[in-house]
Structure 1
Amino acid sequence: MAEALVIVDVQNDFCEGGALAVEGGAALAAELSEFLEDSHGEYDVIVATQDWHIEPGSHFSDSPDFQRTWPVHCVAGTRGADLHDDLDTERIQARFLKGLFDDGYSGFEGRLGDPDRTGLKEGEKEKAVAPADVIEEGAPDLNTYLQQQGVETVTIVGIATDHCVRATALDAADNDYEVRLLKNLTVGVDEDRIAETYEELREAGVELLRSDEL
């Protein structure tokens, strides 16, 4: 039974100093690197998801409500959309880019892509990026990719517990994977919503653990 680790949205804009920072995001990136160093051999597949917004419509707002609308963040090709420097990407086998033209909360909405294909250097990272620059025609979505790898169990970590981690875990359960969420390797925005998210995930059959309980 193949198992996948899905690292959700550990990106610069979701960490301290970013456009939509979540407290503890940078520390989480470093903790995930340690986890990967110690535990990568337990996973057959390791993937990451990234917000990769081009024209996400009403997802962006000059007057965000921080529920359905948000400040501009993770714009495709910019530094803010990059995975955080403290996240060791050596063992990440594939990246799934989501939210190009919509909200893109769930990693299962993402398609296999290569952000490095843009060829943009650090000083150029405000140039427009087209989908074809990073996603090949016919690239699989996350569910298709996991099925191709024979994955039956999905372990989820990342940012933010009460938003994209939640949506990704629920979609994993809806797609009939055995799903685990590692609570100590996620960070969220609102404590009340995190508690509600945990209850919702339990009801969906998601197992909530700490990494030392695996």
Structure 2
Amino acid sequence: MSRALLIVDVQNDFTEGGALEVVGGDAVASAVTGYLAAHATDYEVIIASRDWHDAEGDNGGHFAETPDFIDSWPVHCVAGTPGADYDPLLVTDSVTHHVRKGQGKPAYSMFEGETEAQETVGEVLAAAGVLSADVVGIATDHCVRASALDAIAHGVHVRILTDLVAGVAPEASETALAELVHAGAELVQSADA
């Protein structure tokens, strides 16, 4: 049974000091790096996603001057800018596939993106025979939630490593985790993974 680690959007614009900073984002980046140092060989596939929005236009309504923070957001993670880069505390040497999502359109789930070889996450997981995946990253209540739900819909058993995620808002994050459990995900600490 192949396993995957899905690392969601651990980027400068989502960590402290970024355009859409999430409190605890840098701590997640550092903790995921520590986890990879000890556990990278436990996984056949390690996929890291990044928001990678077009510099021109509103990216299908995703960017707005007066965002509602539900469907529209301030400008963030523009392709080729420092904000779209991985947080420097995240060491990506063991990542097997890098996915970019949201080019010209809204995209929350890593399953909406592609690798440089134009493979979808679903295709990568199917090719590797992945039956289970651990999910980490930012933000629990948005892109982690969407990516985990899509993994479940893809037929993958999902575990959320709860000490390796950070959310925008505590209540929304708790609601997202409850929704994921209801959908079939397990919540575990990385030490128990």
TM-score scaled to structure 1, two decimals? 0.87
| Matching residue of 1:165 | 144
Which residue type is aligned with residue 69 of structure 1?
S
| Matching residue of 1:129 | none
Q: How does 1:92-111 map to 2 (within 5 A)?
A: 92-111=95-114
| Matching residue of 1:150 | 129
TM superposition shift of 1:67? 1.3
| Matching residue of 2:6 | 6
1:83 aligns with 2:62: no
TM superposition shift of 1:44? 1.1
Q: How high is the sequence identity, in percent, across the aligned residues?
A: 46
RMSD, aligned α-carbons? 0.9
* Residue ranges of structure 1 left out of the alignment (5+ in a row): 114-135
TM-score scaled to structure 2, two decimals? 0.96
Which residue type is aligned with residue 8 of structure 2?
V
Question: Which whole-Å deviations, capped at 9, do the CAs of 1:74-93 have from their partners, x for residues lacking one?
Answer: 00111110111110111011
Question: Which whole-Å deviations, capped at 9, do the CAs of 1:40-74 have from their partners, x for residues lacking one?
Answer: 11111111000000151211011111111100000
| Matching residue of 1:208 | 187
What count of residue pairs does the alignment treat as equivalent?
Answer: 190
Which residue type is aligned with residue 198 of structure 1?
L
Which residue type is aligned with residue 148 of structure 2?
A
Q: Please give the alpha-carbon distance, in whole angstroms, between the structure 1 residues aligned to 2:42 and 2:181.
A: 24
Question: Which whole-Å deviations, capped at 9, do the CAs of 1:83-131 have from their partners, x for residues lacking one?
Answer: 1111011101110110102111000001012xxxxxxxxxxxxxxxxxx
Moved over 2 A (4+): none
Q: Equivalent residue of 1:168, what SS?
A: helix
Which residue type is aligned with residue 150 of structure 1?
G
Quick check: which has more Rg, 1 or 2?
1
Which residue type is aligned with residue 146 of structure 2?
A
1:65 aligns with 2:78: no
| Matching residue of 1:24 | 24
Q: Equivalent residue of 2:163, what SS?
A: strand
1:184 aligns with 2:163: yes
Q: Please give the alpha-carbon distance, in whole angstroms, between the structure 2 residues aligned to 1:73 and 1:179.
A: 28
* Residue ranges of structure 2 left out of the alignment (5+ in a row): none
Q: Please give the alpha-carbon distance, in whole angstroms, between the structure 1 residues aligned to 2:49 and 2:96.
A: 11
Q: Equivalent residue of 1:111, what SS?
A: coil
Q: Please give the alpha-carbon distance, in whole angstroms, between the structure 2 residues aligned to 1:28 and 1:195.
A: 17
Q: Equivalent residue of 1:77, what SS?
A: coil
Q: Please give the alpha-carbon distance, in whole angstroms, between the structure 2 residues aligned to 1:12 and 1:75.
A: 11
